[in-house]
């Protein structure tokens, strides 16, 4: 698909930069249109705001990572598929949460402390365990195959079930977001969905092809491009939402925003990707997976270290410094 892009990319690296920027714009805007159109149709069928928020909106915000992964797997760029997820989770926690807390301390709810953060820790640990268990169980190289993908999806099903049950039993919980569905006509809703899907596919294709082109031109692995450029680009919605929330002193939104995204990324997107096409390990995957898990662990420790149960400013600075050290080390490995 979009075979003409290959010819454009051969024109030079600046063309690739323009295409990847356009790809991220199309990807993020496509996700917004898809969520608006699907939410409006769901509302017309009498589906509650709660269910829409926990399904359509939650899945829609993870669409950028999902589409990039599906296209990466289809093109055989499995390193890009894994690092897009691990890199997004690392940036979500260390950069987005760290920057948000540095601007304004983040208050946390008990649900986040007792469930969301531990589930995010489990996500990173599960990836490490599955990668190392594959050679023991199947006598194949380290990586994530369909068995690991099924395990991740089963955990995701438990997460969705628990989230629905909690939302139903505790409608007053601040973590249960109130969703405001825009009133859109049926025809316009369908148009939004179609344009959203088109934006996602076109944006995903541009990003994956441009990322592979960058890796080839710069002489670095797809894994490094996935951990940096692609991961940051697909995390832009979370970054914008969290920083604006912090500026308005509503930074508690960032906790659910970040860790909810991390859980979706690993258990749903990475699990689905592995079922479609086995994801072999790349050099440095252990470090990336451990880093993804440690972000949630550090956040949990920071929260437990103060009576207000907040991610404090110094906690945010620690997260940012830890990411700087990690990124420097990973780039020196190239």
Domain parsing of the chain, residue ranges = 4-332
- Cβ neighbours of 34 (radius 10 Å): 23
Distance CA 80, CA 63 (A): 16
- Residue 241: name the closest of 117, 61, 79 by CA: 61
Q: Is 221 left (phi over 0), alpha (psi -120 to 50) or beta?
A: beta
**pTM score, whole prediction:** 0.84
Q: What residues in the chain have per-residue pLDDT under 50?
A: 4
H-state helical runs in 266-312 = 271-276, 285-304
| Burial class, 304, CB count within 10 angstroms (exposed 0-12 / middle 13-18 / buried 19+) | exposed
- Residue 105: name the closest of 324, 320, 303, 323 by CA: 303
Helix or strand (DSSP H, E) at 321: helix 313-332
DSSP 99-153: HHHHHSPEE--HHIIIIIHHHHHHHHHHHHHHHHHHHHHHSS-SEE-HHHHHHHH
Per residue in 38-94, pLDDT (tens digit) is: 888 887 877 766 566 656 766 777 788 888 888 888 888 888 888 889 998 999 999
- Angle (nearest 5°) at CA 50 between 47 and 53: 95
What's the distance, Cα to Cα, between the start and end of the chain in Å? 31
Are the beta carbons of 289 and 128 closer than 8 angstroms?
yes
- Residue 149: name the closest of 203, 90, 69, 76 by CA: 69
Helix or strand (DSSP H, E) at 47: none
CATH of domain 4-332: 1.20.1420.30
Are the beta carbons of 174 and 109 closer than 8 angstroms?
yes
């Amino acid at each position: 698909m979009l075979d003409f892009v290959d010819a454009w990319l051969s024109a030079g690296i600046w063309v690739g930069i323009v295409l990847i920027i356009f790809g991220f714009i199309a990807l993020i805007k496509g996700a917004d249109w898809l969520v608006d159109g699907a939410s409006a149709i769901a509302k017309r069928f009498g589906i509650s705001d709660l269910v829409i928020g926990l399904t359509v909106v939650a899945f829609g915000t993870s669409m950028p990572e999902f589409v990039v992964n599906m296209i990466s797997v289809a093109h055989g760029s499995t390193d890009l598929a894994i690092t897009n997820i691990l890199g997004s989770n690392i940036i979500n926690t260390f950069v987005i949460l760290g920057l948000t807390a540095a601007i304004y301390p983040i208050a946390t709810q008990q649900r986040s402390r007792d469930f969301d953060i531990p589930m995010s820790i489990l996500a990173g640990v599960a990836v490490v365990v599955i990668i190392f268990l594959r050679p023991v169980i199947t006598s194949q190289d380290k990586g994530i195959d369909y068995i690991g993908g099924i395990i991740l999806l089963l955990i995701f099903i438990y997460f969705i079930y628990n989230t629905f049950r909690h939302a139903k039993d505790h409608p007053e919980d601040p973590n249960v977001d109130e969703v405001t569905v825009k009133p859109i006509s049926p025809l316009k809703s369908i148009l939004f969905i179609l344009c959203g899907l088109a934006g996602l596919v076109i944006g995903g294709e541009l990003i994956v092809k441009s990322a592979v082109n960058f890796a080839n031109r710069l002489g670095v692995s797809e894994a490094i491009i996935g951990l940096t450029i692609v991961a940051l680009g697909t995390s832009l919605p979370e970054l914008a939402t969290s920083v604006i929330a912090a500026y308005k002193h509503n930074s508690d939104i960032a906790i659910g925003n970040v860790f909810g995204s991390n859980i979706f990324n690993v258990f749903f997107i990475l699990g689905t990707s592995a079922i479609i096409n086995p994801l072999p390990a790349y050099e440095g995957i252990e470090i990336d997976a451990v880093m993804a898990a440690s972000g949630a662990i550090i956040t949990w420790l920071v929260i437990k270290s103060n009576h207000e149960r907040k991610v404090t400013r110094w906690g945010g600075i620690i997260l940012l410094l830890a990411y700087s050290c990690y990124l420097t080390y990973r780039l020196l490995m190239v």
